[in-house]
């Protein structure tokens, strides 16, 4: 039976590819949240080998379980943190890490197989094909980065490197952004003619806001990496201080930004305050500009999402990082990031059009 390689009409092709990318984005979103749960339950070091193909098969017999548990018992985490853990306890942390890796493999398949199909059907042009190939390579790099991160916790200190953890998190956000942005471009590629200074200014503000969110994600990676959320569990002050006296206790001074709980958490809070002030300002400016209805709705959701994310962050801090709130806080960051990208993309389509001339149904 031969495969039909006749090309599809342009509009239908764009919609098909965009829906596929949105589905992949949803899987990456789930991966980020599950990764947070894996980290918070200290499950990430339970599988001590990287086997991209063979590792997809779970342990099926008691012998398999005993073999895996014995390998785990040789690790610093077992010997220094979980000494005396039973096989039943090991199974609990194993399954979370297993499903985290399994979801990563599933994303790879869900992305690669349709990509081959679209290429065979000539649904995508060369430019888009190269973009999608780049996203696939980023996904492969993410798998390698995940193992590189885990490997750092299998020697001496039973904690993964905060630098590798942050790189792993940022790469996930980058892959998600590439998929989402490409999908949005396929669904709404048009730009309106003309120039509007107010909309151009709002567009710049939206990108500044997105940069702040990105910086917040990076700082959050370091908070998670050195477990800074387990210290200074008070708000709005840090153990009674606006600026904690331990801020530069490590020498040389620049190491405080990556190794000092006080400094890392202070920076995370500082960016949160900046977002708390910037988000209402962006919302007010966007509302005053007379944006299309859909972009107004995104602005409203973005303001709500920022407020909810800050509330989640405060709750997570005050309760010393419970698993549920911590995972929700990580997912909330991706929600804010998603809405920021949607706003930027929508403004990209209308920034070149005069405000009064933008139809309310546009985008």
DSSP string for 316-345: HHHTT--HHHHHHHHHHHHHHHHHHHHHHH
CA nearest 27: which of 115, 138, 116, 106?
106
Query: From residue 320, how far is each of 84, 177, 248 by CA, in Å?
Result: 25, 30, 23
Do 176 and 79 fall into the same domain? yes
Q: What percent of the chain has pLDDT over 70?
A: 92
Q: What is the pLDDT of residue 11?
A: 78
| Res. 230: pLDDT tops 50 | yes
Dihedral of the alpha carbons of 305, 136, 143, 53, in degrees to the nearest 10: 130
Rounded to an integer, the average pLDDT of 223-245 is 96
What are the two backbone dihedrals, phi and then psi, of residue 102, each rounded to the nearest 5 degrees? -65, -40
pLDDT tens digits for 271-282? 999 999 999 999
| pLDDT reading at 357 higher than 80 | no
The stretches of the chain forming alpha helices (DSSP H) are: 10-40, 62-73, 76-80, 87-120, 126-151, 162-187, 197-225, 256-259, 261-288, 293-318, 323-350
Q: Are residues 238 and 147 in the same domain?
A: no
What distance in Å separates the CA atoms of residue 290 and residue 199, rounded to the nearest whole number? 9
Q: Average pLDDT in the 311-336 region?
A: 97
Query: With 60 as the cut, is the pLDDT of residue 190 above it?
Result: no
Q: Do 200 and 179 fall into the same domain?
A: no
Q: Which of 187, 207, 226 is the endpoint of a domain?
A: 187
204 and 121 in one domain?
Answer: no
Q: Mark whether 149 and 236 lie in a shared domain.
A: no
Same domain, 140 and 217: no
207 and 237, same domain (yes or no): yes
Q: What pTM was computed for the model?
A: 0.91
Q: Classify burial at 2, counting beta carbons within 10 Å of its beta carbon; exposed 0-12, middle 13-18, buried 19 or more.
A: exposed
Q: Do 183 and 59 fall within a single domain?
A: yes
Residues 212 and 314 in one domain: yes
Q: Distances from the Cα of 113 to the Cαs of 101, 106, 178, 278, in angstroms?
A: 18, 11, 18, 42
Tokens matching residue 52: 């991209």
Which structural domain range is residue 347 located in?
190-363
Q: Is the pLDDT of residue 195 over 60?
A: no
Nearest to 167 by CA among 35, 46, 34: 35
Tell me: do 177 and 224 sit in the same domain: no
CA end-to-end span of the chain: 41
Same domain, residue pair 165 and 206: no
Last residue of a domain, one of 155, 187, 219: 187
Could you tell me if 153 and 45 are in contact, meaning their C-beta atoms sit under 8 angstroms apart?
yes
Confidence label for 97 from pLDDT (cuts 50, 70 and 90): very high
Mean of pLDDT values over 296-324: 97
- Boundary (domain end) residue, out of 187, 216, 247: 187
Residues 17 and 88 in one domain: yes
Number of domains the chain is built from: 2
């Amino acid at each position: 039976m031969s495969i039909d390689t006749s090309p599809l009409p342009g509009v239908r092709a764009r919609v098909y590819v965009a829906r596929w990318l949105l589905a992949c984005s949803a899987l990456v979103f789930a991966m980020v949240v599950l990764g947070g749960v894996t980290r918070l339950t200290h499950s990430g070091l339970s599988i001590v080998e990287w086997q991209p193909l063979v590792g997809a098969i779970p342990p099926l017999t008691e012998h398999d379980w005993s073999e895996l548990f014995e390998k785990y018992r040789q690790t610093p985490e077992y010997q220094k943190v979980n000494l005396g853990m039973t096989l039943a306890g090991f199974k609990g942390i194993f399954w979370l890490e297993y499903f985290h890796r399994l979801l990563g493999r599933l994303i790879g398949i869900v992305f690669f197989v349709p990509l081959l199909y679209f290429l065979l059907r000539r649904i995508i042009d060369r430019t888009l094909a190269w973009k999608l190939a780049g996203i696939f390579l980023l996904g492969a790099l993410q798998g390698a980065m995940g193992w590189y991160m885990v490997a750092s916790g299998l020697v001496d200190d039973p904690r993964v490197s905060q630098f590798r953890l942050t790189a792993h998190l940022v790469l996930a956000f980058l892959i998600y952004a590439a998929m989402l942005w490409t999908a949005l471009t396929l669904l709404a590629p048009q730009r309106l003619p003309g120039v509007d200074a107010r909309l151009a200014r709002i567009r710049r503000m939206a990108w500044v806001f997105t940069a702040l969110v990105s910086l917040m994600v990076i700082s959050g990676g370091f908070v998670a990496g050195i477990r800074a959320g387990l210290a200074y569990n008070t708000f709005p002050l840090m153990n009674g201080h606006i600026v904690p006296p331990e801020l530069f206790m490590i020498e040389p001074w620049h190491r405080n930004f990556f190794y000092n709980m006080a400094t890392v958490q202070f920076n995370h809070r500082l960016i949160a305050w900046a977002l708390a002030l910037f988000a209402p300002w962006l919302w007010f400016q966007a509302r005053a500009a007379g944006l299309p209805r859909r972009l107004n709705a995104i602005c409203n959701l973005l303001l709500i999402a920022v407020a909810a994310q800050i509330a989640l962050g405060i709750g997570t801090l005050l309760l010393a990082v419970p698993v549920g709130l911590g995972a929700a806080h990580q997912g909330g960051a991706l929600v804010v990031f998603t809405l920021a990208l949607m706003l930027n993309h929508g403004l990209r389509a209308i920034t070149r059009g005069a405000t009064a001339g933008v139809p309310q149904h546009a985008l």
